[in-house]
Amino acid sequence: MTLKPRLSTLHNGPASSRGAGFTLVELLMVITVLGILAAIALPRFFPQTEKSRVAEAVGILSAIRQGEEAYFLERGVYLALPVAGATWAQLGLDDPNVGANNYFTYDVAIAAAAFTAHATRTGVALPAGAAAIGTIIGLSGDGNYCGGHPNTPPNRGTAAPATCPR
C-alpha cells in the first residue's frame, strides 16, 4: 500500500494565501473606529485631570491653613507669604511653589486678624477646556472657599464667591 500525496495539501496557490493577513480596507476601518472612540473619550478625560489637580491644590491649601493656625497660636499673628524674611518652613511646610509640575502657585494674604491662602492656576499642562491661567482657588481661615476656578469647592452646600480677599 502506497500513500499518494493529495494535490490540495501541496498546492500553494492563491486560494490558500487569501486568509494570511488583513486587507488595507480592514486596517483603515479599525483605525477609523479607534479615532472615533478617542474623539469621544479624550474630551471627557481632560476635565477629570483638572479635577485631580484641583484636589491636590485643595489639599495643599488645607495644609497651609493648618500651618497658619499653628503659627497664630504660637505668635498671635498670621504669616503672609511670600514676603521678605518669611518662609514656608515657618508654617511647617515645604515650599509648594518649588517643583517640576506646579499646576498652581501658592501665596497667603493677611487682612486684619484673618488670612486667605490662594492657589493660582499656572499654564503647566493646561489641557483644552481647562480653567484659564490665573484663575484662583482660595481658602480662608474660617474654612470657606472662594475663587473663580470652575472646580472651586462649595462652602457647606453653597457656591463659593468668585473673588477672594487679597
Residue range 75-95, pLDDT digits in tens? 999 999 988 889 999 999 999
On the question of pLDDT at 11 being above 60, the answer is no
Domain-located, residue 153: no
pTM score of the predicted model: 0.71
Report the pLDDT value the prediction gives residue 125, as an integer from 0 to 100. Answer: 64
Identify the burial level of 86 via C-beta atoms within 10 angstroms of its C-beta, where 0-12 means exposed, 13-18 middle and 19 or more buried: middle
- Domain holding 95: CATH number? 3.30.700
Provide the number of structural domains found in the chain: 1
Distance from C-alpha of 28 to C-alpha of 22, rounded to nearest angstrom: 10
Report the pLDDT value the prediction gives residue 17, as an integer from 0 to 100. Answer: 55
Domain-located, residue 118: yes
Domain-located, residue 137: yes
Domain-located, residue 132: yes
Cβ neighbours of residue 74 under 8 Å, at least 6 residues apart? none
Domain-located, residue 166: no
Pairwise pLDDT comparison (84 vs 139), residue with the higher score = 139
Report the pLDDT value the prediction gives residue 73, as an integer from 0 to 100. Answer: 95
Domain-located, residue 99: yes
Render pLDDT for 38-49 as a digit per residue (tens, 0 to 9).
888 877 777 788
Domain that holds residue 131: 22-146
Domain-located, residue 104: yes
Render pLDDT for 142-161 as a digit per residue (tens, 0 to 9).
899 998 888 888 887 677 78
- Give me the count of residues in the chain: 166
- Asked whether the beta carbons of 94 and 67 are under 8 A apart, the reply is no
Distance from C-alpha of 58 to C-alpha of 15, rounded to nearest angstrom: 66
Pairwise pLDDT comparison (135 vs 34), residue with the higher score = 34
